[in-house]
Amino acid sequence: MKVAVGQFAVSKVWQENVQTCLSHMTQAQAAGAQLLVLPEAVLARDDNDPDLSVKFAQTMNEEFIERLCGQSSNDQLTTILTLHIKTTPGRAANTLLAIRGGEVIARYQKIHLYDAFNVQESRLVDAGDCLPPLIEVAGFKVGLMTCYDLRFPEMALSLALAGADVLVLPAAWLRGPNKEMHWSTLLAARALDTTCYVVASGECGNKNIGHSRIVDPLGVVIAAANQQPTLIYAELESQYLTQVRAMLPVLKNRRFALPQLL
C-alpha cells in the first residue's frame, strides 16, 4: 500500500485550510496513494488565540466535511485528519475522521486530551470514551490515534491486539525542550511495541514541530519531513510485516498477567 502524509501550517481561515486539504488529496491520489494522513485540528489555528479551533467548530453536516467528502467521491483514496466538531455551546470534540468514497467511513473522538506542559485541552474539549475502530485500506487493517494518544502505549497495543497492521496519527505536537526527541522516540517505540507501521502527520505552524514520519514495524524511519509544508510517501509491504512479526513475535509472546507466585 502506498501511503502519503501531508504536512502543512493551519491558517486562521478555515476556507484556506479546506483548500489545502483538497490539494493534498488531489496530489496524493495522482501519485497513486491509497491512504493520506493529514494533521490534527485542521479547521483553524491562531498563534494568539489557542481557542480558535473550538470557536470555529462545525457540525458533521457543514461545509468543511462536505467539501472533503465531495472530493473523495471521485476516487478510493482514504483520507484521515481531525476537526473540532460541536458538542454543547462553547465546547467541541477533537474528532478524527476517515473519509473515502464520498462519505465518512469512521470517526473517533480523542480519548487522551492534552492536559500537560501547561496546556489544558479539556478546558473546552470533551474527551471520548470509546476506543477507535479499525478500518481496512488496501488489505491492511488500520488503527486510529490522535496526537497525545501516542504517549499511552496501552492504546497502541490494544489496537494491535485487535488486528491493526498500521497505526495512523494526525498530530499537532507542540514545540518545547526535547519535544522533537520525544516525538521521534515515541513513534519508534509504538512501532516496536506493536510491530505495526506508524504513519504520523504533524502540523508545522509556528508553535508545532512538523516532523511527520512514516516508521516501519522495526522502528526504522522510512520517510520523514522537517519543519516545512510537504507531502511524503512510502510503500507499506504486507510481506515485510509478516516477516517482522515472525522474527519478533511480541504480540504472541506477551504475558499480560502472570500467576501470583506462592
Q: For residue 49, give the DSSP letter.
A: B
Out of 21, 110, 121, 204, which one is annotated catalytic? 110
| Distance separating alpha carbons of residues 215 and 202, to the nearest angstrom | 14
Residues contacting 252, CB < 8 A, separation 6+: none
User: Model-level pTM?
Assistant: 0.96
Eight-class DSSP state of 193? H
pLDDT in tens, 81-94: 999 999 999 999 99
Give which of 82, 79, 83 is closest to 103, Cα–Cα. 79
Residue 158 cell numbers, joined:
490494544
Neighbours of 124 (CB within 10 A): 18
Q: What is the pLDDT of residue 207?
A: 96
Strand spans (E) along the chain? 2-7, 35-37, 78-86, 92-100, 103-109, 115-116, 119-120, 134-137, 140-144, 166-171, 197-202, 213-215, 221-224, 230-235
Fold (topology level) of 2-248: Nitrilase/N-carbamoyl-D-aminoacid amidohydrolase (3.60.110)
Which is catalytic among the residues 21, 121, 147, 196? 147
154 is catalytic: no
**Residue 168's pLDDT is what?**
98
Say what percent of the chain tops pLDDT 70: 98
Task: Give the CA count within 13 Å in the CB-facing half-sphere of 187.
Answer: 29
* pLDDT for residue 109: 98
110 is catalytic: yes
pLDDT digits (tens, 9 = 90+) for 180-236: 999 999 999 999 999 999 999 999 999 999 999 999 999 999 999 999 999 999 999
Residue 104's pLDDT is 98
Q: For the chain, how big is the Rg over CA atoms in Å?
A: 18
Q: What is the pLDDT of residues 131-162, one digit of tens each?
A: 999 999 999 999 999 999 999 999 999 999 99
Q: pLDDT (tens digit, 9 = 90+) per residue, 18-73?
A: 999 999 999 999 999 999 999 999 999 999 999 999 999 999 999 999 999 999 99
pLDDT recorded at residue 261: 45
Alpha-carbon gap, residue 152 to 169, rounded angstroms:
13
pLDDT at 258: 52
Q: Of the residues 2, 12, 16, 40, which is catalytic?
A: 40
Provide the pLDDT for residue 21.
98
Contact 35, 142 (CB under 8 A): yes
Report the C-alpha gap between 230 and 191 in whole angstroms.
23
**Residue 262: which pLDDT band, with cuts at 50, 70 and 90?**
very low
Do the bridges between strand 166-171 and strand 197-202 make them parallel or antiparallel, or are there none, so unpaired?
parallel
Q: Residue 30: enclosing H or E segment and its boundaries?
A: helix 14-30
